[in-house]
């Protein structure tokens, strides 16, 4: 199985120059400072609740974990690169069903993003190949299709007020004749009308994949490519709620306006600069974020109570948890992540925990459930 950090690294290649336009004068922005040169290994208390093997059969084999989401006691795994299917597993990892690829009735051509309707319990799957949203039941049985030929979706989220928050990267021409990229819009339930959120990128850039850019709990938070802001959806507008400050490792506005995409990527992979946020997960206690730095995922737990930052990498290196990518939460306190079989095998070599789990390199990835607290 492919590690999504290595295959996506949150972004496609930047091919020219860019700059970010947005509100930076709000007085209620909470700046969170991160020290990448901190030598003290702050560790979290990690309670591993369960490691779940996703059933591996010929029909359930996942080629690439493009995204994984938890809804109503089931795990939905999207593979938009190899099998081009959406898989569903129950809470114990038993395979239930997957979509079938094709252009016939009930088939899916290019599955690209998945969200859920909490009211009806249905699954909404965007098919980029035919610009349509398929409605499926919770076991992925086909119900209906609605074509939206003018809507481009990279990721989307059904909100409680029958709207969609859509991440797309639409190119437009500004009043000054420059090309601008609009990453987010709010759409009505039938996708007939929309409102663009005031977050803009300028320059010649290609579209970018973010792993889990939206966190919906008591508030709707989301991130945008190549800046360090975390936005909050407030009355149909994007307000900067948090800003991540890595000091000298942040790209400056000058960097973004003068350097090419290749140059910036080289700086990120060389550990000179930090890439923008690709994942956010928030509850009352912690803000979890994932950036790319020095060629790998940089996962932080920021504690709201102590204002301390905990690197997941430190916990992994101290054998508190297997190497994993965090994707979300199953409830208010429990995180879930994905472990590749090779990562679990490495973890088993260092300790006796979970030695009863038998995996091979060719198996499907595993789900890990865990809680955290401060020592």
- Cβ–Cβ under 8 Å, residues 47 and 312: no
Work out the widest C-alpha separation in the chain, in whole angstroms. Answer: 63
Q: What is the pLDDT of residue 169?
A: 73
Torsion region of 119: left, alpha or beta (phi above 0 gives left; psi -120 to 50 gives alpha)? alpha
Residues in the chain: 375
CB 301 within 8 A of CB 312: yes
pLDDT (0 to 100) of residue 264: 83
DSSP 305: T
Burial (0-12, 13-18, 19+ Cβ within 10 Å), 72:
exposed
Residue with tokens 């010649």: 204
Please enumerate in sequence order all residues whose Cβ is within 8 A of that of 170, keeping only pairs 6 or more positions apart, or say none. 152, 181, 182, 183, 185, 196
Q: Report the side by side order of strands in the sheet with 335-339.
A: 44-53, 366-374, 335-339, 325-329
Domains of the chain, CATH where assigned: 4-374 (2.120.10.30)
Q: How far is CA 13 from CA 8, 16, 30, 110, 202, in A?
A: 10, 9, 30, 21, 15
Share of the chain above pLDDT 70, in %: 89
Contact 43, 310 (CB under 8 A): yes
**Which one, of 67, 37, 334, lies nearest residue 211 by Cα?**
67
Q: Are 72 and 138 within 8 A, CB to CB? A: yes
Question: Can you read off the two tokens belonging to residue 26?
Answer: 């709000």
- Supply 84's token pair: 């081009």
Q: Name residues of the chain where pLDDT drops below 70.
A: 1-27, 171-179, 202-208
What's the predicted TM-score (pTM) here?
A: 0.91
DSSP 140-180: --EEEEEE-TT---SEEEE-TTSEEEEEEEEEEE-TTS-EE
Among 13, 87, 46, CA closest to 365: 87
Q: Are 101 and 117 in contact (CB under 8 A)?
A: no
In tens, the pLDDT along 9-30 reads: 444 333 333 444 333 445 689 9
How far apart CA 248 and CA 188 sit, in angstroms, is: 41
pLDDT tens-digit map of 245-287: 999 999 988 887 777 777 888 999 999 999 989 999 999 999 9
Closest residue by Cα to residue 211 from 44, 26, 360, 2: 2
Backbone torsion region of residue 191, taken as left when φ is above 0, otherwise alpha when ψ lies between -120 and 50, otherwise beta = left
Q: Which of 141, 57, 72, 152 is nearest to 100 (CA)?
A: 141
Q: Which residues contact 50 (CB under 8 A, 6 or more apart)?
A: 367, 368, 369
Quick check: 183 and 168 in contact, CB under 8 A?
yes
pLDDT of amino acid 149: 82
């Amino acid at each position: 199985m492919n590690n999504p950090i290595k295959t996506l690294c949150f972004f496609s290649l930047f091919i020219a120059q860019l700059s970010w336009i947005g509100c930076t004068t709000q007085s209620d922005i909470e700046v969170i400072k991160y020290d990448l040169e901190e030598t003290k290994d702050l560790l979290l208390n990690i309670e591993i609740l369960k490691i779940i093997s996703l059933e591996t059969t010929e029909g359930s084999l996942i080629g690439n974990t493009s995204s994984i989401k938890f809804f109503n006691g089931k795990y939905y795994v999207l593979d938009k690169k190899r099998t081009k299917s959406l898989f569903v597993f129950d809470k114990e990892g038993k395979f239930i069903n997957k979509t079938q690829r094709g252009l016939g009735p009930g088939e899916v051509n290019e599955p690209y993003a998945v969200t859920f309707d909490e009211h009806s319990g249905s699954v909404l799957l965007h098919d980029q190949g035919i610009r349509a949203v398929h409605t499926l039941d919770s076991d992925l049985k086909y119900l209906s299709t609605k074509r939206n030929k003018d809507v481009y979706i990279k990721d989307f989220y059904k909100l409680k007020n029958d709207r969609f928050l859509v991440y797309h990267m639409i190119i437009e021409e500004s009043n000054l004749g420059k090309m601008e990229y609009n990453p987010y819009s709010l759409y009505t339930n039938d996708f007939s009308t929309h409102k663009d959120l005031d977050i803009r990128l300028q320059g010649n850039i290609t579209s970018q994949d973010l792993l889990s850019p939206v966190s919906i709990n008591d508030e709707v938070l989301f991130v945008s490519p190549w800046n360090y802001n975390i936005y909050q959806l407030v009355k149909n507008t994007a307000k900067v709620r948090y800003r991540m400050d890595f000091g000298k490792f942040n790209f400056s506005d000058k960097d973004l306006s003068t350097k090419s995409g290749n140059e910036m990527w080289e700086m990120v992979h060389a550990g000179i600069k930090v890439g923008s946020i690709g994942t956010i997960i928030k509850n009352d206690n912690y803000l979890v974020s994932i950036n790319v730095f020095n060629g790998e995922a940089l996962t932080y737990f920021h504690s709201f109570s102590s204002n301390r930052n905990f690197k997941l990498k430190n916990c992994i290196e101290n054998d508190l948890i297997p190497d994993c990518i965090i994707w979300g939460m199953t409830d208010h306190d429990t995180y879930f992540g994905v472990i590749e079989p090779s990562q679990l095998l490495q973890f088993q070599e260092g300790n006796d925990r979970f030695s009863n789990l038998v995996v091979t390199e060719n198996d499907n990835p595993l789900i890990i459930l865990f809680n955290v607290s401060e020592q």
